[in-house]
Amino acid sequence: MSNFLKKAMDHKMSRKAFLGWSAALTTAAVVPTYGLTKVDSKVAAAKLNQEEKWVTAACWHNCGGRCVNKALVVDGVVIRQKTDDTHEDSPDYPQQRGCHRGRSQRHQVFGADRLKYPMKRKHWEPGGGKKELRGKDEWVRISWDEALDLVATELKRVKEKHGNKSIIGTSRLLNFYGGAMVRWGSSSSGAWGVPQETMTGFMSWKGNDRLDWRNAKLIVMWGSNPTRSNLGNPSYNLLQAKKAGAKFIFVDPSVSPSVKTLADKHIPCRPGTDTALLLGMAYYMIENNLQDQDFLDRCTVGFDQDHMPEGADPKENFKDYVLGTYDGVPKTPEWASEICGTDPKVIKEFAHEIATTKPMIFTSSFAPARTYRGQQFCQAFLTVGWMTGNVGKPGAGVFTMNYASKQSYGGKTLVRGGGTGLPDAVNPLFPDATYGAYDGYRWENPTNLEAHGIAYCETYDAILNGEYTATAGRGKVPCDIRMLWLVRDGSGYNYLNQSSDINKGIKAFRKVDSIITNDIVLSTISKYADIVLPATTEWEKEGKIYSGNPEAIVITQKVVDPLFEAKTEEWMDRELAKRLGLNPAEIYPITEKQQLFNSLAGAEIITEDGENYVPLVTITEKDIKKWGVDGKPQKGKISLDEIVEQGAYQVPRSPNDKLGEIECEAFVKDPEANPIPTKSGKFEIHCQALVEKIAAYGLTTIAPIAKYEPPMDGYEATFSDWKNKKKGKYPFQLVTIHYGRRSHSVFDNVPQLREAYPQEFFMNKRDGEALGFKDGDTVLIESSVGKVIRPVALTETCMPGVVFLGEGAWVELDEKTGIDKAGATNSLCPARLSGQGEEPWNTTIVRVEKYKGEPLKPDWQWEQRIIF
């Protein structure tokens, strides 16, 4: 018996829990470092002498996909996993197949590093204790009663002495206890939200229905890498368009896996300079009269001085800016090339192709807008797209692709789950929930004087300096942050690892009085906490409905009983509520089972004519009695037992069905009769609403039309002398890519994925050789805020001067040297306030040199964060 299993037995687990842990761990092909062995699954099943059962299991991470994941369970033991086999696979009706991360889920759920009991930091006491030991102190096991008493007492103390505004956090419990300051801003979507809303009137990041993509002759993918960033079906759907005859052009600073898979042409462009490239393209189109002037005149405002919105300065039109009429700087392809690195001839060819090819889909990912003042890219992208007139027609579209909610589909939502039935729990200090919250039509109003929150990139400065930038023109406001509260849904945001400037974050964490978290493993944010409560994974909960594309929902179930002493967040809230003098029944008036039932009962499917919705699930009195819940019988498309057993419901598609949608078709045909919800009723190339809304956030400003302004930490900042092109202290631009090993920071603790994806630092071969590097050398990467070491991978797939590192690695900081050996990108990315609070990760500059210390061991050979 391994050391781990001997120690596990000391924790008084039930027979089922013990068997679940031992069988799951030993059947996993885990490296010998952890003292575990491999056991044949059939042997394990035979020993348990139980019937096998496939259970639909959650794959709950924010990866951009939403796939079917099934676990084979025998007496609480997960023997193996599989993915979607609910129907035959075809391009029109594809299975929702899981990726390598999803199929590694059991190694996360049953990992040796699962947290087993409540813990407190040895030298923590109410008010902080030895705060400087956060992240390196010993952990002490405590009982649930002791943990809950400590947490409730500390929360009461902080609230009574300093008030709710001294707490940063979000949870139902906190909202019922007076609320807390929230962290607001835009992370995944970068700067896209407000430009999309104000310039188009729509918050729906979608294009035409996926089957219509097969009608396109040309598809431009700007900054997009779905083959790596969005596993599941996105690339498969795009492949069908390619097979149907579409040509693909990718704009990217690297030859990404998606370029290799789909591209007919690759256009290189330096990060943060995309606006210059787009302006150079616009110049070529205008000079050669290639723009769709009829579309621009009928459907847009602001392109030229004859079509300006009411009240705007005629000189502030896009055409004259591009031609340099008033500023004396024509935005020629040659001008653009000096900035973006794309050959002028390529810029002209690219512009000519998008202007003369119809129908065309012109789509961008979020990545190019995750930059400082990234709104200028969004403005330029929409404007140049509209210049081609490819809107409102089959096989055409100009939009950004939100893979997380539409998974490269676009179009209408065909099936959707219902609500849980839990009442809203509004945060009294932030009634808008979060800036950037999507309410169906608009981003929430930053002029709300009742909203008290701190921008993502200012959180650490606010803690350290005692002030933050308030919206609505309030300027700097004093604050006194005493507690960080992260007792919430286990899929919550691990912001110490995933927000800019981890080193400053650690300093801020060591200033507050208390940090309370719940977690399934000792992730970065819990490593620096004071009290950590062991949470269940989604596999140990009642179940829920997940959606990730408009054609399917996934109905997950409880796979195994909670392991060790893990509890659900709802249980924690209820127990803490009792200690805080709150009524748990008001916070959670219905059970978790009732919540799941309500979601199923409220699920809807679109009618065959694509116009209305009807109930999806048939529910009988017998079902209600069997579930032990409140409800009413109803008639739907599928029985309750069948949909739960099946674990998913997907709407079959065909090219001739009536479920497709052409975005803005009616508007383009008759703009006057079908105005869009902007102030002008048209697409706004000149957009004063954008200017005013960005100004309301109080961080940076933006012009009403697309202009190129060099971003802070952008390409120009890599030079000490721009005119003579003399490189400066930080000569390389860093791109923080999504990486196959993780979904953001999730899965980074799984040894198999660490071995498959070694967190390499990618660099142009010629750049590396000029610095004396060989492939595999350990190199030191340094920015103005931190240092990391990584093995270097030299490749011709990267643009010269641009380097790449996968985001999400769990920081491992050597405090003596200040070096993070894990290669967490946020150890390098400065926290810069910008626009609507977007995190400008892709405007970061670094220098690289040979590391003089011991070479790194492969990550999969590192010790896990296991606490017994």
Categorize the per-residue pLDDT at 63 as very low, low, confident or very high, splitting at 50, 70 and 90. Answer: confident
Whether 405 shows a pLDDT value over 70: the answer reads no
- What integer pLDDT is reported at residue 229 of this predicted model? 83
pLDDT of residue 438: 36
pLDDT reading at 121 higher than 50: yes
176 and 55 housed in the same domain: no
Within a domain: residue 635?
no
- pLDDT for 14 equals 43
pLDDT greater than 90 at residue 122: yes
Tell me the pLDDT tens digit for each residue of 297-329. Answer: 999 999 999 999 999 999 999 999 999 999 999
pTM across the whole model: 0.93
Residues comprising the chain, all counted: 868
Confidence of residue 46 (pLDDT cuts 50, 70, 90): low
Whether 705 maps to a domain, the answer reads no
Which residue, 184, 63, 65, is CA-closest to 443? 184
Percentage of the chain with pLDDT > 90?
A: 81
Residues 302 and 437 in one domain: no
- Is the pLDDT at 11 greater than 50? The verdict is no
CATH number at residue 731: 2.40.40.20
Q: Give, in order, the Cα–Cα distances in Å from 445 to each of 29, 471, 614.
A: 51, 10, 33
Report the distance separating Cα 339 and Cα 255, nearest Å. Answer: 20
Q: Does residue 219 share a domain with residue 83?
A: no
Note the pLDDT tens digit of each residue in 268-294. Answer: 999 999 999 999 999 999 999 999 999
Burial class of 148 by CB neighbour count within 10 A (0 to 12, 13 to 18, 19+): buried
Q: Is 124 domain-assigned?
A: yes
CATH number at residue 380: 3.40.228.10
**What average pLDDT does the segment 797-819 reach?**
97
What's residue 487's pLDDT? 82
Looking at the fold, whether 455 and 580 belong to one and the same domain comes out as yes
Average pLDDT, the chain: 90
Reading across the β-sheet that carries 53-57, which strands appear in turn? Answer: 53-57, 69-74, 77-83
> Does 657 fall in a domain?
no
The parent domain of residue 674 ranges over 193-412+664-697
In a domain, 55, yes or no: yes
Q: What is the mean pLDDT of residues 365-381?
A: 96
620 within domain boundaries? no
What confidence score (pLDDT) does residue 638 get? 97
Checking DSSP bridges between strand 139-141 and strand 247-251, what pairing results, if any? unpaired
Question: Does residue 454 contact residue 430 with C-beta atoms inside 8 Å?
Answer: no
Q: What is the mean pLDDT of residues 224-241?
A: 88
Could you tell me if residue 33 is inside a domain? yes
Q: Verify that 13 and 134 share a domain, yes or no.
A: no
Examine the domain organization and report whether 160 and 208 are in the same domain.
no
Q: What is the pLDDT of residue 434?
A: 46
- Regarding whether 806 and 670 lie in a shared domain, the answer is no
Answer yes or no: do 175 and 199 share one domain. Answer: no
Residues 216 and 132 in one domain: no
pLDDT at 205: 58
Question: Is residue 483 domain-shared with residue 514, that is, in the same domain?
Answer: yes
DSSP per-residue letters across 449-466: TT--EEEGGGHHHHHHHS
Q: What is the tens place of the pLDDT at every residue in 266-275? A: 999 999 999 9
| Among 45-54, 249-258, 301-310, 563-572, the least confident range | 45-54
Q: How confident is the model at residue 735 (pLDDT cuts 50, 70, 90)?
A: very high
Measured CA distances, 321 to 98, 311, 318, 716, 760 (Å) = 48, 18, 5, 21, 42
* Domain tally, the chain: 4
Do residue 732 and residue 856 come from a single domain?
Answer: yes
pLDDT tens across 634-675, in order?
A: 999 999 999 999 999 999 999 989 999 898 999 999 999 999
DSSP string, 565-600: T-B-HHHHHHHHHHHTT--HHHH--S-HHHHHHHHH
**Could you tell me which residues come within 8 angstroms of residue 644 by beta carbon, excluding any fewer than 6 positions away?**
555, 557, 600
Same domain, 521 and 488: yes
Contact (CB, 8 A) for 274 and 340: yes
Does residue 631 sit within a domain?
no
What phi, psi does 603 have (nearest 5°)? Answer: -65, 140
